[in-house]
């Protein structure tokens, strides 16, 4: 169904009620920290009282295939459940330090086990002392409750007990893409070519779904390798939707907002002007794809100054076809198809173009990556092809 809303409050009330989250909103509606009016430039969600919104809540199975939405066969999406702080404290053994899976800009992520069901989960504890924590919490709950895609992390539930704000996600056993690419101290083998392309394809499909199937489009605004989680069979899922923002509508090309994101992944036009469009996600995806192809970090201060920034290092090499093979991650040990590598680097280069209008759509990127996957599934040793 499609309905129009004049302001943030009416949108919140309708969506929260639909998702049976009204108890959360009603319980905390009197809290100044949640309901205080902020300017659009300081609102990370994109829901502002000055903006007329038309929100379409569509299941992936209702979206045409060309919009790249799909569902996991046999899966059923349930409304997220509410947890008490005591329940999640018990699940994480009182937030035991050795259960920390990672730490981000808004809090820590713990591994936990729910009492009763014994289900292993990931519990994100949002630090109430960090700015925008309440809005990040609400936006992530709404996004992950309304939108569903096989390459989006599943929200199991949430806790809004007093001042506590926690999110409960499915547990992803292989950690983040960042860890698997760059943490070479582990005993796990490096990701092979086919796995990297599988991850690239899954993330591209998810972003295409956010941009094309959601009305208005959703801009993730925080696409990076540490926010791509790997499940069984290295199935990739995009996570951390707390900074997501509604994209432009009514023929507009962008929305203006405060700059949020991570250095090295942030699109240059957004970083310099605050003008945000779906093409900012395309740029960030290009950085992640380049990470997977080269094995280098987006920003690596341990390297020489001219190689610190991945995009700055790669840009001149894109113009020299004979040097493209030299960009490949040494951990691949030459086991990749030359044609597939050059095609993937070409996709990354177009995603990273300075002019956002010249960048491809994520739907086109997903199609191109799928072509590489289907036509280059048997890696050859590079040395035999040079």
The angle that helices 310-318 and 278-294 make with each other, rounded to 10 degrees, is 80
Rounded to the nearest angstrom, the gap between the alpha carbon of residue 195 and the centroid of all alpha carbons in its chain is: 18
Cβ-contact 356, 279 below 8 angstroms:
yes
202 with 236: CB under 8 angstroms? yes
Could you identify the residue written with the tokens 């390798």?
225
Q: Is 124 annotated as a binding residue?
A: yes
Q: 263 exposed, middle or buried (CB, 10 Å; 0-12, 13-18, 19+)?
A: exposed
Query: Which residues are annotated as part of the binding site?
Result: 124
Annotated binding residues for ATP, written as ranges, equal 124
């Amino acid at each position: 169904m499609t309905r129009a809303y004049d302001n943030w409050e009416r949108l919140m009330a309708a969506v929260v009620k639909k998702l049976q989250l009204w108890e959360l909103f009603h319980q905390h509606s009197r809290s100044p920290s949640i309901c205080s009016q902020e300017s659009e430039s300081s609102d990370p969600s994109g829901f502002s009282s000055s903006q007329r919104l038309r929100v379409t809540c569509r299941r992936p199975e209702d979206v045409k295939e060309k919009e790249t939405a799909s569902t996991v066969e046999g899966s059923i999406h349930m409304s997220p459940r509410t947890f008490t702080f005591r329940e999640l404290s018990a699940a994480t053994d009182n937030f035991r330090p050795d259960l920390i899976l990672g730490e981000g800009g808004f809090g820590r992520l713990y591994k936990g086990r729910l009492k009763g069901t014994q289900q292993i989960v990931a519990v994100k504890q949002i630090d109430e002392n960090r700015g925008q924590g309440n809005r990040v919490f609400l936006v992530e709950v709404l996004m992950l409750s309304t939108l569903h895609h096989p390459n989006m992390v599943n929200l199991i539930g949430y806790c809004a007990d007093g001042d506590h704000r926690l999110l409960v996600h499915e547990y992803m056993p292989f950690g983040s893409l960042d860890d698997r690419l760059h943490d070479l101290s582990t005993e796990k083998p490096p990701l092979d070519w086919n796995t990297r392309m599988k991850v690239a394809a899954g993330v591209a499909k998810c972003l295409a779904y956010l941009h094309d199937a959601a009305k208005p489009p959703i801009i993730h605004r925080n696409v990076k390798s540490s926010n791509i989680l790997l499940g069984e069979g290295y199935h990739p899922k995009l996570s951390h939707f707390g900074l997501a923002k509604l994209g432009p509508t009514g023929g507009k090309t962008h929305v203006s907002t405060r700059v949020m994101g991570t250095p090295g992944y942030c699109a240059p036009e957004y970083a310099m002007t605050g003008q945000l469009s779906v093409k900012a996600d395309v740029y960030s995806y290009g950085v992640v794809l380049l990470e997977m192809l080269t094995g280098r970090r987006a920003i690596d201060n341990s390297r020489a100054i001219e190689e610190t920034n991945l995009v700055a290092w790669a840009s001149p090499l894109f113009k020299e076809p004979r040097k493209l093979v030299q960009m490949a991650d040494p951990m691949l040990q030459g086991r990749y198809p030359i044609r597939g590598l050059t095609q993937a680097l070409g996709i990354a280069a177009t995603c990273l173009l300075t002019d956002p209008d010249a960048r491809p759509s994520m739907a086109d990127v997903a199609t191109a990556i799928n072509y590489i996957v289907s036509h280059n599934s048997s890696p050859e040793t590079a040395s035999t092809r040079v």
